[in-house]
Structure 1
Amino acid sequence: MSVRPYRQITRRHSRQIFVGSVPVGGDAPISVQTMTNSLTTDVAATVAQIKRAEAAGVDIVRVSCPDEESTAALADIIRQVSVPVVADIHFHYRRAIEAAEAGAACLRINPGNIGSAERVREVVKAAKDHGCSMRIGVNAGSLEKHLLEKYGEPCPEAMVESALEHARILEDNDFRQFKISVKASDVFLAVAAYQGLAEACDYPLHLGITEAGGLIGGTVKSAIGLGNLLWAGIGDTIRVSLSAAPEEEVKVGYDILKSLGLRVRGVNIVSCPSCARQGFDVVKTVEILEQRLAHITAPVTLSIIGCVVNGPGEARETQIGLTGGGNDSHMVYVGGAPDHKVDTLAMIDHIVGLVEAKARELEGRD
């Protein structure tokens, strides 16, 4: 039992699958995904996007494969990157088979859109032959006609029923290496659908609020929807869908997980919004520190507080702290305790040095 039970999140028990070398579900860490938005046929641009996402810490990347030229480029892309690649497939079963043959770690499909039972069997055989898992991707904007007629509109019950129908198609083909998503752009609809699906099956769940919007608005919607589910223990892998660069999706995804203590990567900065009491420019300082500390992957906690009202208290909870003081002299905290002072001109370089040293210590390096 945790000494702080109010921070305890009990994750839903799910079976575990693998996307390449990345475990999804079971007791595996919640993985962070993104999707490229370059033309897949532009191998250099797609690889460059994936490399930037890798630098941000992505676990899994999805690449769209709408045509034969894209699946032909997929093998070249996969050879040049380190993370597992998911092939995004819609409708044409041949693209799924080609993607599996090209080395995709996972196929994102809707079995019901693939076509006849024989075509589904061919796709399943290709997945088995090449060690691919699958994701059943249900979207509120493209629900099957018979479900819309039954329920009248996209609703949680319709999305769960769609997901389970697709799951049965794969189960009937003796294939269970899949995860499921039930995405919607409406936060209420998505959350309710995931809650229903979590109760109805034990497959790992891929969380997302689809078409969430731009960097700020989409981050807010995703944080509300994904945060609600993750706090309840639901979710095994996430993608934050933003109209932004793929690496930005990764950063937001990690920040959501970090805020709930579900994944720890990089520097977690606790900072105040600033006010007239501040002893230095907090907003500018945090902006610079975020940029200069972006390369650190070790889990370091840092507090940047402009004055002594909350500064000492926040510093007690972080490994390194900075609290603004008078006369151009600011207190530096180490291990939660006041340690020494630094002036404004030197403080950013000084804090960067302390954080980098702490990161080396945590990583076991001198």
Structure 2
Amino acid sequence: MIRRRATRQIHVGPVPIGGDAPIAVQSMCNTQTSDVEATLAQIGGLAAAGCEIVRLAVPDMAAARVLSAIRAGSPLPLIADIHFDSRLAVAALENGAEAIRINPGNLGGPDKLKRVVDAARAHHAPIRVGVNSGSIAKDILARYGYPTPERPEALIESALDHVRQIEGLGFSELKISIKSPDVLTTIASYRLLSSRTDYPLHIGVTEAGGLIAGTVKSSVALGHLLMAGIGDTFRVSLTRDPVEEVRVAYELLRALRIRERGPELISCPTCGRTRINLFDLAERVAAKLQTMRAPLKVAVMGCVVNGPGEAREADIGIAGGLGVGIIFKKGRLWKKLPEAELLPALLAELDHLEAEYHHNRQEK
């Protein structure tokens, strides 16, 4: 059983972070923030996939000023991502950002940091102190060296130095992130940081890569940390559609039995008996399951011979053959259909099961 480390709790909008709150799943839009329509569309997709907090880049004043319009239409709380310009942080908060992510070391000095902290206090918005391995102050690098798995102290000292500066301004609604693109450095850094502070931690591997490399790196690093009880919110950073980040995040939480959201997909790796386009079929079913909440096990199997037996525990599944396939429930044949009708019939039954699930919850 995983035992979470004890942390203080903050709120990003209505979402609690730290303490006894569930570990929150976060992502970041890759739209131009100033394009309100495109940004809201992407936020809607993220929310449907289960994302709970979304971060938006604020590179200029145009992006800061449209945050009020985005917040009005967003189902998720907004974190404004700020670099270098304290005026953008203040403007983002004035226009509805419910939290900000800053690296205090690149804002231009104590006076500008104070301006940002005062604005965060006035708008009841927490601050995420974010430090990456490529943005550590030169004096700290000179003292500790570039962060490695054996010597991660530079990341920790950089973050805690910024935290002390903000605490000195009378503000403590904080969470901390210290990211590296290196898996082992990420693990070592967060383990050391978690032993030295009780602030909630946002964990992640920065610049992790595309779907394959990014998923592997994030799963290794975040899986290790989450099993150690470290992490109050996290993002799986991928060079992909951010909805994919949320999918990977929930599969990681499910694998560790920390949180489950919606159905679980079981699918076979294919073999010489496969006579249908299983890859496409599994992807289309997975996209459907991402929008569902019913706690089902759904199987997509490559052949009629072994499908129901190997996926006997599935609530519902399909197994394809040459031009024909079956839909089965709990290992038993339910329907035999032409191949072209398999997916539509499965999707229709999933809609039925989802509606039944919500109806039963309302009855209770």
TM-score range, shorter chain: 0.7 to 0.9
Pair 1:360 & 2:355 matched? yes
Please state if 1:215 is matched with 2:211: yes
| Alpha carbons of structure 1 residues 159 and 326: separation in structure 2 relative to 1, 3 Å | same
Aligned to 2:10: 17
1:256 pairs with 2:249? no
Structure 2 residue 237 is matched with structure 1 residue 241: yes
Contact 2:247/2:290 (CA < 8 Å) preserved in 1?
A: no
Tell me which moved more, 150-159 or 199-208: 150-159
Opposite residue 166 of structure 1, the aligned amino acid is H
Give, in whole Å, the separation in 1 of the partners of 2:243 and 2:10: 25
Provide the rounded CA distance (Å) in 1 between the counterparts of 2:229 and 2:244. Answer: 24
Residue 304 of structure 1 is matched in structure 2 by 300
Establish whether residue 54 from structure 1 lines up as the match of residue 35 from structure 2. no
Shift of 1:292: 4.2
The corresponding residue for 1:338 is 332
Which residue number corresponds to residue 346 of structure 2?
351
Equivalent residue of 2:25, what SS?
A: strand
Q: Give identity over the alignment, percent.
A: 43
Counterpart for residue 19 of structure 2: 26
Structure 2 partner of 1:4: none
Residue 3 of structure 1: aligned partner: none
Query: Structure 1, unaligned stretches of length 5 or more?
Result: 1-7
1:13-47 deviation digits (Å, cap 9, x = unpaired): 21111001111111212212122223323333322
User: 1:122 and 1:266, CA in 2 relative to 1: closer, same or farther beyond 3 A?
Assistant: same
- 1:278 Cα offset (Å): 4.7
What is the match of residue 45 of structure 1?
38
Contiguous gaps of at least 5 residues in structure 2: none
Task: Please tell me the root mean square deviation across aligned C-alpha atoms, in Å.
Answer: 2.6
Shift of 1:249: 2.1
CA distance in 1: counterparts of 2:343 and 2:86, whole angstroms: 55
Distance 2:21 2:62 in 1: 35
CA distance in 1, matches of 2:21, 2:178: 21
d(CA) in 1 for partners of 2:352 and 2:327? 18
TM-fit CA distance, 1:71: 1.4
Give the deviation of 1:359 after TM superposition. Answer: 1.9
For 2:112, the equivalent position in structure 1 comes to: 119
User: What is the rounded CA distance, in whole Å, between the counterparts of 1:302 and 1:100 in structure 2?
Assistant: 43
Q: 1:325 to 1:118 in 2, by over 3 A?
A: closer
**Alignment map for 1:85-234 (pairs within 5 Å):** 85-155=78-148, 156-234=152-230
Separation of aligned partners in 1, 2:276 and 2:69: 50
Q: Is the 8 A contact 1:141 1:154 kept in 2?
A: no
Paired residue for 1:81? 74
Residues 166/305 of structure 1: CA separation in 2 closer, same or farther (3 Å cut): same
What letter corresponds to residue 112 of structure 1 in structure 2?
G
